[in-house]
C-alpha cells in the first residue's frame, strides 16, 4: 500500500533559525499518526508546511506520490485533498453555520449548491449539530464551533485530515465532545495526522506516535510502547510532565 503522505528531509527555517531539521515521515491510508512534543518544538509549523501555508527551505512533501511543496496555483487542487482544522475555528461571523460550511465546496470546488447543502446537513447531524445550521457562530459554544470547523474540513472530501491542537482553546467540558468526533473519524478509517496535548486521547486514537523535540523526530512507535516504555530520555521527561 502506497503512503498517502510522504515527507522527505524536510528543512524549515525562520529568518535563518532552523525550526524543522531533516524531518521524514510517511502516513499510510487509514492510518492515524499523532504528533506530540513540547511547546515550540515545531509541530504547528510542520503541519503548515504540509498544506503549503509555509514555504520550506529543503526537502519534499508528496501527496499520493506527487510533489506538492512548491507554492503555486497548479497544486492548489492537490492541496484541497488535505483538510486542516486549527485551534481557532476561523468561522465567518456574519455567515450562518450552513453558509460557513457550504462556501468552499461551492466556490472552490464548483459543486452544486443543493448537493453541498444536503451534505452539510448530514455532516452536521453526524456531529450532533443539525439544529444549529441557521445560527451564527457567536451563538455557538467553543466546542460546537470546533465541530463545525471539522464539518467544514470534511465536506471538501480530503484524503488526509490534519488537526492542530483542536481542543487547546476549549473549556474542559467541551474537550470531550470534540475528541469524540475525532475518535469516530478514526474508527471509520480516515487518514489523519493529529497534534495534541491530550495524552490519554493520543494513546487511544493513534496507530503511531511521533515525538518531536527541537524540530527533529526524536522517537516514534506504537502508542502502548511509547507511553509505557519510551526509548529516549527526552520522551520520558516529556511524558513525566503530564498527568493522565
* Residue 120 binding: pick among ligand ADP, Mg ion, none (C-beta 5-8 Å cut-off by kind): none
Q: Which of 25, 31, 42, 208 binds ligand ADP (CB under 6 A)?
A: 42
Q: Does 40 bind ligand ADP (CB under 6 A)?
A: yes
Q: Does 44 bind ligand ADP (CB under 6 A)?
A: yes
Q: What is the phi/psi pair of residue 177, to 5°?
A: -65, -30
Q: Which of 16, 39, 110, 233 binds ligand ADP (CB under 6 A)?
A: 39
Strands 32-36 and 192-195: parallel
What are the grid coordinates assigned to 184, written together? 469516530
CA distance 44 to 42: 6
Q: Which is nearer to ligand ADP, 40 or 70 (CB)?
A: 40
Q: Which is nearer to ligand ADP, 28 or 87 (CB)?
A: 87
Other CB atoms within 10 A of residue 19 CB: 20
Q: Which of 2, 14, 228, 244 binds ligand ADP (CB under 6 A)?
A: 14
Q: What is the phi/psi pair of residue 41, to 5°?
A: -80, -10
* Smallest distance from ligand ADP to CB 140, Å: 26
CA distance 25 to 49: 13
* Smallest distance from ligand ADP to CB 84, Å: 13
- With beta carbons less than 8 A apart as the criterion, state whether 211 and 233 touch: no
Residues 6+ apart with CB under 8 A from 136: 93, 94, 95, 96, 97
CA distance 84 to 44: 11
Q: Which is nearer to ligand ADP, 105 or 215 (CB)?
A: 215
Which one of the spans 36-44, 68-76, 121-129, 220-228 is the region binding ligand ADP (CB under 6 A)? Answer: 36-44
Q: Which is nearer to Mg ion, 162 or 186 (CB)?
A: 162
Q: Which is nearer to ligand ADP, 18 or 130 (CB)?
A: 18
Alpha helix (H) residue ranges in 66-112:
76-79, 97-107
Q: Does 19 bind ligand ADP (CB under 6 A)?
A: yes
* Smallest distance from ligand ADP to CB 146, Å: 18
Please name the residue that has the C-alpha cell 503555486. 72
* Residue 223 binding: pick among Mg ion, ligand ADP, none (C-beta 5-8 Å cut-off by kind): none
What residue ranges bind ligand ADP (CB under 6 A)? 14, 19, 37, 39-45
Amino acid at each position: 500500500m502506497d503512503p498517502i503522505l510522504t515527507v522527505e528531509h524536510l528543512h524549515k527555517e525562520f529568518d535563518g533559525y532552523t525550526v524543522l531539521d531533516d524531518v521524514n515521515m510517511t502516513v499510510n491510508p487509514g492510518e492515524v499518526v499523532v504528533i506530540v512534543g513540547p511547546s515550540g518544538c515545531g509541530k504547528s509549523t510542520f503541519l503548515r508546511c504540509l498544506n503549503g501555508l509555509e514555504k520550506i527551505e529543503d526537502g519534499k512533501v508528496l501527496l499520493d506520490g506527487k510533489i506538492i511543496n512548491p507554492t503555486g496555483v497548479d497544486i492548489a487542487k492537490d492541496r484541497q485533498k488535505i483538510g486542516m482544522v486549527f485551534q481557532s475555528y476561523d468561522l465567518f461571523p456574519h455567515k450562518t453555520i450552513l453558509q460557513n460550511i457550504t462556501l468552499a465546496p461551492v466556490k472552490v470546488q464548483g459543486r452544486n449548491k443543493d448537493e453541498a447543502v444536503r451534505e452539510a446537513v448530514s455532516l452536521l447531524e453526524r456531529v450532533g449539530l443539525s439544529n444549529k445550521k441557521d445560527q451564527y457562530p457567536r451563538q455557538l459554544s467553543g466546542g460546537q464551533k470546533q465541530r463545525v470547523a471539522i464539518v467544514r474540513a470534511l465536506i471538501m472530501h480530503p484524503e488526509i485530515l490534519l488537526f492542530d491542537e483542536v481542543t487547546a482553546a476549549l473549556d474542559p467540558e467541551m474537550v470531550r465532545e470534540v475528541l469524540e468526533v475525532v475518535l469516530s473519524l478514526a474508527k471509520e478509517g480516515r487518514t489523519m495526522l493529529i497534534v495534541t496535548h491530550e495524552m490519554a486521547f493520543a494513546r487511544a486514537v493513534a496507530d503511531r506516535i511521533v515525538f518531536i523535540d527541537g524540530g527533529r523526530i526524536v522517537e516514534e512507535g506504537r502508542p502502548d510502547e511509547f507511553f509505557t516504555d519510551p526509548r529516549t530520555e527526552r520522551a520520558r521527561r516529556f511524558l513525566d510532565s503530564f498527568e493522565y
